[in-house]
Amino acid sequence: MPEGGPDLEDIEGIGPKTAQLLRSKGILSAKHLALFNPEELIEITDMTPDRVDKILRSAREAVLGANRISKATELAKSFDNITRLKTHVNSIDELLQGGLEPKAIYEFAGEFGTGKTQLCHQLSVTVQMSPDKGGVAGAAVYLDTEEAFSPSRIMNIAQRFDMDPNEALDNIYVIKVVNAVDLEDRIKFDVVRLIEQSNVKLVIVDSIIALYRAEFRGRERLAERQQRLNYILDWLMRIAKVYNVYVVLTNQVLDVPMGYIEVKRPAGGNVLAHAVTHRLFLRKSREDVKVMEVLDSPRLPFKASAMFKITDKGVEDV
């Protein structure tokens, strides 16, 4: 079996010709296949609905298990034993109850200069550390939609943690994304390939909303924009759950009128608010101090906050 789990030919209903067809469409393994829903697979393969249903059901059972029912007591134990990815900013790691958890989506929302991209750069380095040092010994994939990735920042952060700067850069796969369709294709195919073949444990999208706001302009296209945004967020969650990886998104903000004042709120509306697991708002405070605040989370206390600063070495405690 490949590292990603069962091979395509191991799935009931898939012979050599069907496996070749799926691989020609970019579906690499049974685990990758299990991410798809029937409509998506029919669209790219032209197979009949009955056959697709049978193949996908077999793939899910082979990859995820036929019986996925567990008691809450078992889930509680699994939460206690998860490996958390640390930012190595003590205040933030304490706020996140030890660091980022896998199988979840973290959103860093804030205006320009609040540290969203800096945190993404730092996580791209800390993910490479061994578990005893707060990492997971994995690589990162960085989907760059705004030309924000900086190799020099990675090198500075790596030196801070006594890592070889060139080795740190070599374990980050940067994907330059040109439009929303390109982002969707890269996540559905390239990101999964890198997870299976290159030990990627962290998926970063910086930023998630930029392309959708630019391409779907005007109120008449708002519904279409939100549907497309919801679709790619759903794919990121599928990947997070099936591959047990960490997912981080950055998001822009809007000025929302509240009486006589305007309040900054994350862009993306209810679609983004409901899709992410942990919603964190970043803002500027006094002088060079930034604040991270919990906006919404199933496990983190509402309005809890942490202070940090941005230096030449990355993101640090105040």
**What does the pLDDT look like over 129-140, one tens digit per residue?**
999 999 999 999
Q: Please indicate whether residue 74 or residue 52 has the higher confidence score (pLDDT).
A: 52
Q: Give 258's pLDDT tier (boundaries 50, 70, 90).
A: confident
Total count of residues recorded for the chain: 318
- Highest mean pLDDT: which of 59-68, 153-162, 214-223, 258-267? 153-162
Which single residue is written with the structure tokens 């991410």? 35
| Per-residue pLDDT at 2 | 45
pLDDT for the residue 90: 97
| CA 216 vs CA 7, 19, 45, 225, 230: distances in Å | 39, 37, 28, 6, 14
Counting other chains too, the contacts that 217-220 makes at CB distance below 8 Å and 24 or more residues apart are none
Q: Which domains are delineated in the chain?
A: 8-64 (1.10.150.20), 78-317 (3.40.50.300)
Return the beta strands (E) in 145-244 as ranges.
Answer: 172-176, 200-206
Mean pLDDT for the stretch of residues 34-49: 94
* DSSP conformational letter for 85: B
pLDDT band at 4 (very low <50, low <70, confident <90, very high): low
Distance between CA atoms of 88 and 94, rounded to whole angstroms? 10
Distance CA 282, CA 44 (A): 40
Q: Is 75 or 161 the better-scoring residue by pLDDT?
A: 161
More confident: 190 or 259: 190
pLDDT in tens, 169-223: 999 999 999 999 999 999 999 999 999 999 999 999 998 988 888 888 888 888 8
**Does the structure show a pLDDT above 70 at 3?**
no
pLDDT of 51 > 60? The answer is: yes
Q: How far is CA 219 from CA 45, 68, 216, 223, 269, in A?
A: 34, 42, 9, 8, 13
Element (H, E) at 230: helix 222-243
Mean pLDDT for 84-95 is 97
Mean pLDDT of 106-130: 96
Are 106 and 100 in contact by the 8 Å Cβ rule? The answer is yes
Amino acid 178: pLDDT: 92
Tokens describing residue 173: 């796969």
Q: What is the 3-state secondary structure (H, E, C) of 115-160?
A: CHHHHHHHHHHHCCCCHHHCCCCCEEEEEECCCCCCHHHHHHHHHH
Q: What is the largest CA-CA distance in the chain?
A: 66
Helix (H, G, I), strand (E, B) or coil at 67: coil
| From 52-56, 60-64, 123-127, 172-176, the region with the lowest mean pLDDT | 60-64
Mean pLDDT within 134-158:
96
The rounded distance, in Å, linking the Cα atoms of 210 and 194 is 24
Amino acid 1: pLDDT: 39
